[in-house]
Amino acid sequence: MDFQPGKLGVLPREIKGLWGILFSPLLHGSLDHIISNSIPFMVLSTSMFYFYEKVAVRSFVMIYFLSGIGLWLMGNLFFCGTEFNRSCYLPHIGASGIVYGLLAFLFWNGIFRRSMQSIVIALIVTVLYSGYFAGIAPNAKEGNISWEGHLLGAIMGIFTAFYFKDELEDTEIESMRDIYADEDTSRNTPFLPVDIFEKTKAQRLAELQAARIAAERAAFLAAQNKSIDNKDIWTSDDTLE
């Protein structure tokens, strides 16, 4: 007897469809389906566990189960595939929801955490997987694609990134400490006088006049000292104007 993976898929709002929350990410309809999900899954999950070691396990578990629960609750609610139809009996299978959850997690960490590491990872993910954003909306050309699973997986990835945004990695803390240390150093040596914008025009002109007089006096004293060293005798006409 042929095995039908849809029997263990997520069947929204059906009791027997609850098994799909656990098993549907492990089931695929074809070899192409497996390959298309496996490569990004490996890349994104490896990135999560390498760069976000502190929260990786908990984040993965949250994305895995929340994406399935969300799909069970809201899948096929208004659409049957890409057609607007509320009466639909269509199971969902595949790991693409988790892939979208991982993708959203890595991208939105750059926004929520704002560390140099998370921002760079978010930019790399955007460059590599920007085409995936089209998969969160119904597309008539891709009628058998679970875009609802993609969308709900991405939403759960965003939620997970927000939930763990304060649990920074040690490398993130060090990089942020270095940035703030550089900012403190620059603040100790301001480029302009601190009160420059608090002075009136008359005060600034008076300071310039005083500085010019001081410079002229210094030049006069320097010239006078030089003449004394050369044993020159100044007359009463030897004055500066």
pTM beyond 0.85, yes or no = no
Q: Is 10 helix (H, G, I), strand (E, B) or coil?
A: strand
Nearest to 96 by CA among 162, 142, 56: 142
Average pLDDT per 10 consecutive residues for the chain, totaling 241 residues: 77 92 92 93 97 96 97 85 68 94 97 93 94 84 82 97 94 76 60 63 77 85 70 47 47
pLDDT digit string, tens, across residues 108-154: 999 999 899 999 999 999 999 998 988 888 876 776 788 899 999 99
Q: What angle do CA 102, 120, 179 make, to 5 degrees?
A: 130
Rounded Cα gap, residues 211 and 22, in angstroms: 80
Q: What is the pLDDT of residue 72?
A: 94
- pLDDT tens readout for residues 176-197: 776 666 555 555 666 666 566 6
- Type of residue numbered 209: Q
- At 179 the pLDDT is 64
Structure tokens at 179: 């940035």
pLDDT for the residue 223? 76
Q: Please provide the distance, in angstroms rounded to a whole number, between the alpha carbons at the two ends of the chain.
A: 114
Q: Which pLDDT belongs to residue 89?
A: 78
* pLDDT of res. 187: 57
The alpha helices in 189-234, defined as continuous H runs, are 201-229
